[in-house]
Amino acid sequence: MDFEQFRKISFRNGFPSKKLSHNDPDDAHNAFRFFHLCPMNLEHLTMLAAQAVQETASFIRDETGQVQAGQIEEKFLNGLVSYVDRTAEEMLVARLSRLLPEAAFLTEEETVAQQNAEWQWIIDPLDGTTNFLYGLPHFSVSIGLKAGDELVLGIVHHVPQDELFYAWKNGGAWCNGQPIRVSQRGEMRQALIATGFPYHNFSRADGWFAALREFMAEGRGARRFGSAALDLAWVAAGRFDVFFEYGLNAWDVAAGAVLVHEAGGHVTDFSGDNAFMEKQEMLACNTAVFEKALKVVREKFGV
Tell me the pLDDT of the chain averaged across its residues: 89
* Nearest residue to 249 via CA among 297, 281, 201: 281
pTM of the predicted structure, to 2 decimals: 0.87
**188-301: which CATH topology?**
D-Maltodextrin-Binding Protein; domain 2 (3.40.190)
pLDDT digit string, tens, across residues 175-195: 999 999 999 999 999 999 999
Q: How far apart are CA 152 and CA 145, in angstroms?
A: 6
Confidence of residue 8 (pLDDT cuts 50, 70, 90): very low
User: Tens digit of pLDDT for each residue in 13-23?
Assistant: 333 333 333 34
- Please count the other Cβ atoms lying within 10 Å of the Cβ belonging to residue 158: 22
Q: Residues spanned by CATH 3.30.540.10 within the chain?
A: 39-179
286 contacts: CB under 8 Å, gap ≥ 6: 182, 183, 184, 185, 235, 238, 241, 242, 264, 265, 266
Give the model confidence (pLDDT) of 239-259 as tens digits: 999 999 999 999 999 999 999
Residue 168: beta bridge partners?
Answer: 153
- From the options 3.20.20.70, 3.30.540.10, 3.30.70.1350, 3.30.1300.10, give the CATH code of 39-179: 3.30.540.10
Query: How many angstroms separate the first and last alpha carbons of the chain?
Result: 44
